[in-house]
Amino acid sequence: MTTLHFSKLHATGNDFLVLVDLEARLGSPGRNRLASGMRAALCDRRRGVGADGLIRLLGGSDGADCEMELTNADGGLAEISGNGLRCLAHVAARLGLGADGRLVVDTAAGRRDMTFRRRAEDGEVDYAEADMGLVMFTPEMIPVVADSPFDLEATVDGVRYRGDAAGVGNPHYVIFVDDPDAVPLDRHGPVLEHDVRFPNRTNVEMAVPTSSGLRMRIWERGVGETASCGSGACAAAGVAHRRGLGPARMTVAVPGGELMVALSPSGLGDSLNVRLGGSVAFVFEVDVELDRLADTVPLAGGVL
């Protein structure tokens, strides 16, 4: 019987299971590389452990302290998650990775430099910031099949939306609305996620400017509506700042709490450097007998 140990954490309500597999590297199976069906089963909130995503914390090389392999709740691999990076930082610091409150992480979207803060009473990480790379508006870098990523229109159930596409290592469609809470995101989110102009599907942010930045709801690609999305906060802040709707440093309020986003010119066209900060909290640790989980959830592609 195969048993694996997971830590569950959340970052502003965006929750992840973290599996430590320091012998493996990105692009190599490793001994704990799970099939997509098993990854989805673990994230299942009724028949599995339950999470918005699963992170495999891999060993680092070439100057990186570690690597992050990210899976969405549907079992598909993803490029990057700002909230996931903070959850990974908590576990990595507990393992003694990194030094002087800094951590270098390789992801499928590139290398990310992080800083983290420890609580005085127990030394656990409770806040982390990550260099999220660039907010990009070049269509092929997002990617989106359009001459321009700006003012893209979509109509769902007779409701017309207009927004901008942006890339943060993964694709986003940022739409400004009068009231995010009034949007039927459970119905419109899946349609917008699968808009044919986004070949890799897209995350969707419904946002409104506030006095300190933005308030938004998120439909995450391969997950559904989530309490928070770090890369989504970066994309929405980048779009807002480019349109003159927000400052270079702003608070992005999501259902799960608040994220801090800092933007600066990149010198690469209209792309923006972006840094993301926010809280992280440990929830619990759990040992999962994969064979038993396979008995309760129909799996495609086997167990391992």
Which domains does the chain carry?
3-130+282-296 (3.10.310.10), 135-279 (3.10.310.10)
The list of the chain residues with pLDDT below 50 reads 300-304
Q: Do residues 67 and 97 lie in contact, with contact meaning Cβ atoms separated by under 8 Å?
A: no
Bridge partners of residue 72, in order along the sequence: 53
Predicted local distance difference test score (pLDDT) of residue 33:
79
Buried b (16+ CB within 10 A) or exposed e, 70-89: bbbbebbebbbbbbbbbbbb
Please tell me the pTM assigned to this model: 0.91
Predicted local distance difference test score (pLDDT) of residue 101:
95
Predicted local distance difference test score (pLDDT) of residue 31:
65
Q: Using CA atoms, how far apart are residues 7 and 95, in angstroms rounded to an integer?
A: 12
Predicted local distance difference test score (pLDDT) of residue 218:
98
Q: Using CA atoms, how far apart are residues 284 and 206, in angstroms rounded to an integer?
A: 31
Predicted local distance difference test score (pLDDT) of residue 25:
84
Q: Looking at this protein, which amino acid is placed at residue 298?
A: P
Predicted local distance difference test score (pLDDT) of residue 24:
86
